[in-house]
């Protein structure tokens, strides 16, 4: 018997426990579980805070600066008369405070799939995609740097050398060695009929109208239903590559490196720094269309070859639009991912204490009816805090829980009852800030959770 969360206020979760039943003079397991649930819920209480984003906003992302301030970025429609398009905006929040007034990074007819990055010297970086040709997903990656806290932004930098009209996106960027490490998917090897376009399978056709902006089903953060055919029919000629480069704070481009020449076409990538380099996780793609999670490591300036992080055996004839997430805390590295191998939807996490060189056994995080869309925060203890989206009674609910190095896990909590896209989390002090797109009200919302890492 489980403790049931029956109400969530803006300040706490109210829990009602089922009756305790004596068993042979001992304590019913339900009571032990209820006590654990009480302790965890007291430590993790979701409290929504007013979001600075406007109506019809989406594509939220988060970053934490060296002073602990949290930066939120998102995309929303341009509201000015005589103008059309979308604006990439951001706001900042100090610990315990409110979000600042929003500022605009860039705006134009095409602005989508974006993020912000706070750098150690106080500078900010942001990326976004713009259309570069007639195909639906023919895109260029753009990156800009601000040295004055976001008041002004420099000229856009394009990290990829080729300017062919092809699909690009699913960018990850982190701060490494005084520069900006950028990872992205590049479709210049793809042989589609629409300038690198793969076409859309049954799971994506309904999203096509919203795919170039930050609505509920934006291109990078589309639904990813494991029952759908996926993001287009697979063929050996349609191959997406995983690429990497470094950008100096002066805008100088480093060497472009091919990390994997055949990966899943449209699943999110994720990167994290380690003491001697960085780690990148992504959904790979075998010749037999098995699309499990792989990892590549940068150590002492040298990249490893791709290594399987999971061996789920998920064979699917198209991209599920459902990538992994990685986070680090010193040498501790945590990865979370979704799979629907054997038509059984699951969310897993794996933990490492050696910079991602090896991982413990996968920990089952969500196994009832998860949609995926994961994020993860590695904790100093070696534990991790994982979020995902769960399908419940016609809704898509954001859930989260702590998983521990011994394979145990805290009870899951419900953070939000309505979500589209991928919820994002960052930790500052003992506060976790989480941002998601409310699929009913079509707006970016934010909340904080204060957790105890034990």
pLDDT tens digits, one per residue of 212-229: 323 333 333 333 333 333
Residue 16 clears pLDDT 50, i.e. is over it: no
The pLDDT confidence band at residue 96, using thresholds 50, 70 and 90, is confident
Q: In the beta sheet, which residues pair with residue 366?
A: 347
Q: How confident is the model over 113-160, as pLDDT tens digits?
A: 999 999 999 999 999 999 877 766 788 999 999 999 999 999 999 999
Q: How confident is the model over 152-197, as pLDDT tens digits?
A: 999 999 999 887 878 889 999 999 988 999 999 998 765 443 433 4
Token reading at 197: 């376009």
Residue 100 clears pLDDT 70, i.e. is over it: yes
Spatial contact of 448 and 10, defined as CB atoms under 8 Å apart: no
Spatial contact of 336 and 348, defined as CB atoms under 8 Å apart: yes
* pLDDT of amino acid 190: 58
Question: Residues of the chain with pLDDT > 90: what percent?
Answer: 66
Considering the domain delimited by 44-450, tell me its CATH architecture. 6 Propeller (2.120)
* pLDDT of amino acid 45: 66
Task: Please provide the average confidence, as pLDDT, over all residues in the chain.
Answer: 82
* pLDDT of amino acid 415: 94
* pLDDT of amino acid 191: 44
The pLDDT confidence band at residue 400, using thresholds 50, 70 and 90, is very high
Residue 23 clears pLDDT 90, i.e. is over it: no
The pLDDT confidence band at residue 367, using thresholds 50, 70 and 90, is confident
The pLDDT confidence band at residue 256, using thresholds 50, 70 and 90, is very high
* pLDDT of amino acid 79: 76
For residues 224 and 447, the model is more confident at 447
Average pLDDT over residues 335-357: 97
| Identity of the highest mean pLDDT range in 3-17, 75-89, 104-118 | 104-118
Residue 4 clears pLDDT 50, i.e. is over it: no
Average pLDDT over residues 44-61: 92
* pLDDT of amino acid 8: 33
Q: How confident is the model over 372-399, as pLDDT tens digits?
A: 999 999 999 999 999 999 998 888 999 9
Average pLDDT over residues 250-256: 94
* pLDDT of amino acid 454: 66
Average pLDDT over residues 104-121: 93
* pLDDT of amino acid 166: 81
The pLDDT confidence band at residue 238, using thresholds 50, 70 and 90, is low
* pLDDT of amino acid 250: 92
Q: How confident is the model over 198-210, as pLDDT tens digits?
A: 333 323 222 222 2
* pLDDT of amino acid 405: 97
What residues does each domain of the chain span? Answer: 1-43, 44-450
For residues 247 and 133, the model is more confident at 247
Question: Residues of the chain with pLDDT > 70: what percent?
Answer: 78
């Amino acid at each position: 018997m489980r403790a049931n969360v029956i109400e969530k206020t803006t300040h706490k979760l109210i829990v009602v426990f089922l009756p305790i039943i004596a068993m042979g003079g001992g304590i019913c397991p339900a009571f032990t579980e209820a006590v654990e649930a009480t302790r965890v819920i007291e430590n993790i209480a979701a409290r929504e805070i007013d979001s600075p984003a406007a109506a019809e906003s989406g594509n939220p992302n988060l970053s934490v600066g060296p002073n602990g301030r949290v930066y939120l970025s998102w995309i929303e429609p341009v509201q000015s008369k005589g103008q059309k398009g979308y604006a990439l905006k951001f706001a900042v929040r100090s610990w315990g405070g409110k979000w600042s007034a929003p500022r605009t990074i860039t705006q134009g007819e095409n602005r989508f799939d974006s993020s912000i990055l706070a750098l150690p010297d106080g500078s900010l970086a942001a990326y976004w995609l713009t259309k570069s040709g007639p195909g639906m997903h023919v895109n260029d990656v753009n990156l800009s740097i601000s040295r004055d806290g976001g008041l002004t932004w420099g000229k856009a930098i394009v990290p990829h050398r080729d300017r062919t009209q092809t699909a690009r996106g699913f960018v990850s960027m982190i701060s490494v060695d005084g520069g900006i490490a950028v990872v992205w998917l590049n479709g210049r090897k793809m042989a589609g009929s629409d300038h690198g376009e793969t076409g859309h399978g049954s799971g994506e056709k309904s999203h096509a109208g919203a795919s170039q902006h930050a609505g509920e089903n934006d291109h990078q953060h589309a639904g990813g239903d494991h029952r759908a055919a996926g993001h287009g029919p697979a063929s050996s000629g349609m191959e997406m590559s995983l690429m990497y480069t470094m950008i100096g704070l002066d805008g100088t481009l480093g060497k472009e490196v091919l990390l994997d020449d055949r990966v899943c076409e449209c699943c999110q990538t994720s990167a994290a720094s380690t003491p001697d380099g960085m780690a990148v996780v992504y959904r790979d793609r075998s010749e037999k269309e098995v699309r499990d999670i792989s990892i590549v490591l940068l150590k002492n300036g040298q990249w490893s070859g791709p290594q399987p992080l999971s061996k789920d055996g998920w064979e699917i004839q198209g991209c599920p639009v459902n990538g992994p997430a990685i986070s680090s805390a010193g040498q501790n590295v945590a990865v979370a991912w979704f799979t629907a191998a054997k038509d059984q939807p699951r969310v897993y996490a794996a933990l490492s204490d050696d910079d991602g060189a090896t991982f413990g056994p996968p920990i089952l995080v969500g196994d009832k009816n998860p949609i995926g869309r994961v994020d993860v925060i590695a904790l100093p203890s070696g534990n991790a805090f994982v979020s995902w989206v769960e399908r419940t009674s016609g809704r898509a609910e954001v859930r989260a829980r702590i998983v521990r190095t011994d394979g145990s896990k805290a009870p899951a909590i419900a953070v939000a009852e309505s979500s589209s896209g991928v919820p994002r989390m960052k930790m500052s002090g003992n506060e976790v800030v989480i941002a998601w797109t409310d699929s009913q009200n079509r707006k970016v919302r934010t909340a904080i959770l204060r957790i105890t890492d034990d």
